[in-house]
Structure 1
Amino acid sequence: MNVQTPVFRHLRGTLCGALLLPALGLLDHTAWAQGFTLPQQLIDATQEFLERSVSQYLERTSIDARHEVSVNRLDPRLRLASCDRPLTTELESPAQPVGRVTVRVSCQGSSPWTVFVPGQVRLYRDVIVAARPLKRQERLSATDVTLAERDVGLLTQGYLTAFEQILGHKLTRSLMPDQPLTPAHVEVAEVVRKGDQVVISAQSGSISVRMPGEALTDGAPGQQIRVRNQASGRVVKARVTGPGQVTVAM
Structure 2
Amino acid sequence: MYTKGLVKKSHSCLSALFTFFRYNKLYANLKNTYLSIYCLSFTQKSNHNAEAYFPHRKILYFLLSGSILGLSSTAIAAPQEIDQALKQHIQQEIKQYLKQLGTKSNQQKINLTLAPGLEKQKCDTLIFSRPQANSAPVGRISYRIECTAPSSWQSRATARIQLWANIVVASRTLQRNEKLRHDMLKTESVDLSTLNRDPVMTMDEILGMAVKRRIQQGHAISWSLLESPEIVKRGDIVTLLIRANGFSASAQGKAMENGIKGQQIKVENNSSGKIIEGIVIESGVVETNLKIN
What TM-score does the superposition give when structure 2 sets the normalisation length? 0.62
- Which moved further from structure 2: 240-249 or 159-168? 159-168
Contact 1:94–1:101 (CA under 8 A) maintained in structure 2: no
Could you tell me which residue of structure 2 aligns to residue 65 of structure 1? 104
- Is the Cα contact below 8 Å between 1:89 and 1:103 reproduced in 2? no
How far did 1:95 drift?
A: 1.2
Q: 5 Å matches for 1:1-250? A: 39-55=79-95, 57=96, 61=100, 63-66=102-105, 67-74=107-114, 78=117, 80-83=119-122, 85-86=123-124, 88-95=126-133, 98-99=137-138, 100-108=140-148, 112-250=152-290
Aligned pair count? 212
Q: How far apart, in 2, do the equivalents of 1:182 and 1:129 lie?
A: 9
CA shift in 2, pair 1:214/1:108, >3 Å: closer
- Alpha-carbon distance in structure 1 between the residues aligned to 2:85 and 2:272: 75
Note the alpha carbon deviations across 1:76-99, whole angstroms, 9 max, x for none.
Answer: x7465352x436241334415711
Distance 1:112-1:215 versus aligned 2 partners, 3 A rule = closer
Change (3 A) 1:116 1:249: same
Query: Structure 1 residues 146, 237: closer, same or farther in 2, change over 3 A?
Result: same
Over the aligned positions, Cα root-mean-square deviation in angstroms equals: 2.9
2:21 is aligned to: none
CA–CA distance in 2 between the matches of 1:187 and 1:52? 33
Q: Return the TM-score normalized by structure 1.
A: 0.72
Q: Aligned equivalents of 2:103 and 2:118: distance in 1? A: 40
Task: Check conservation: 1:45, 1:89, Cα contact below 8 A.
Answer: no
Rounded to whole Å, the distance in 2 between the matches of 1:198 and 1:111 is 72
More displaced, 239-248 or 101-110? Answer: 101-110
Once the two structures are TM-superposed, the CA of residue 40 in structure 1 deviates from its matched residue by: 3.9
Q: 2:130 corresponds to which letter in structure 1?
A: E
Are the counterparts in 1 of residues 258 and 265 from structure 2 also a CA contact under 8 Å?
A: yes
Alpha-carbon distance change, 74 to 216 in structure 1, aligned in 2, over 3 angstroms: closer
CA contact (8 A) 1:103 1:118 kept: yes
Give aligned-pair identity as a percent. 21
Displacement after TM superposition at 1:225 (Å): 1.9
- 1:194, CA displacement in angstroms? 1.9
1:129–1:210 Cα change, 3 Å = same
- Cα distance, 1:175 vs. partner? 0.4
Segments of structure 1 that go 5 or more residues without pairing to the other structure are: 1-36
* Residues 1:220 and 1:80: Cα distance change in structure 2 (over 3 Å): same
Provide the C-alpha distance between the structure 1 equivalents of 2:229 and 2:156, rounded to a whole number of angstroms. Answer: 48
C-alpha distance in structure 2 between counterparts of 1:137 and 1:123, whole Å:
31
Alpha-carbon offset, residue 112 of structure 1 = 4.8
State the SS of the aligned residue for 2:197: coil
Extract unaligned runs of 5+ from structure 2.
Answer: 1-76
Alignment partners' CA distance in 2, 1:189 and 1:79: 55
| TM-aligned CA deviation for residue 114 of structure 1 | 2.6
